[in-house]
Chain A
C-alpha cells in the first residue's frame, strides 16, 4: 500500500503536473511590448530598437572643455540645469543654469554650451 502511494507520487512528480491541465489550455498573457502603452511603451520600443539610453540619463564625460571647445549640452528648451562634477571624487556637484547662446564656465575651469535637441516624444 505504501509502495503504491510512493510509486504514484514519484510518477506524478517526474511527469510534471502539466498532465493535469491538458483538459483546458492555459490562457496566456499579452506580450509585454504590446501590453505597454504611453511613455513606458516608447521607452521599451526605443530599447528594442537598440537605444539603451532613450531619456539621455547618462553622465556626460567632458571632452577638452576649454573656451574654444566647450562641452555641448543638449536641451529641449531655452535653458537647462547643468551639474558639473569637477573632479572624479568630488563630494558635491556644482549646479548652474545654462542658457541658449551663452557659453558658461564652471568654477573648475570647464566650459559648457547649450545645443538644441528634440525629445523622444
Chain B
C-alpha cells in the first residue's frame, strides 16, 4: 500500500519535473545536464527515502514465533568456526533460538 502510494507520487513528480526541465534547460545536453538529475535526486529521491524511513520506523515489530524443534531448522551439522561454534555470525539472543530453544525464557 505504502509502496504503491509512494511510487505514484514519485511518478507524478518525475513527470512534472521532466516537463518543466525539458521546456527550460533541455537545449544544452552537454553543459548543465546534471541539473535534471540533481532535481530528481533532491525532489524525488530524498522525499521517497524520507517516506520509506518513516514507514520503516513506525511499522510494528513482528511477534516472536513460539519455539518448535523442527528438524530442518537450526542445523548444526558442523560447528561454526568461531566462539563455541553453536551460534551463527549475526546471532541475536532474543530472536534466534538455539537447537534446544530460545536462550531467554520470557518473551
Contacts and interface: CB of A to CB of B under 8 A. Distances in A.
A and B touch in the complex (CB under 8 A): yes
A13 B17 contact: yes
B20 A10 contact: yes
Interface stretch (A14-22, A45-53, A60-68): A14-22
B42 A16 contact: no
7 contacts: A9-B43, A13-B16, A13-B43, A16-B24, A17-B35, A17-B38, A17-B39
B16 A16 contact: no
Contacts of B17: 13
Contacts of B24: 14, 16
Interface of A: 9-10, 12-14, 16-18
A13 B20 CA distance: 7
B102 to A, nearest CB: 48
Contacts of A9: 13, 43
A10 B16 contact: yes
Interface of B: 13, 16-17, 20-21, 24-25, 35, 38-39, 42-43
A50 B58 CA distance: 64
A13 to B, nearest CB: 5
A14 B39 CA distance: 10
A12 B35 CA distance: 12
Contacts of A12: 43
A12 B21 CA distance: 11
Contacts of A18: 35
Contacts of B43: 9, 12-13
A78 to B, nearest CB: 47
A18 B38 CA distance: 10
Contacts of B16: 10, 13
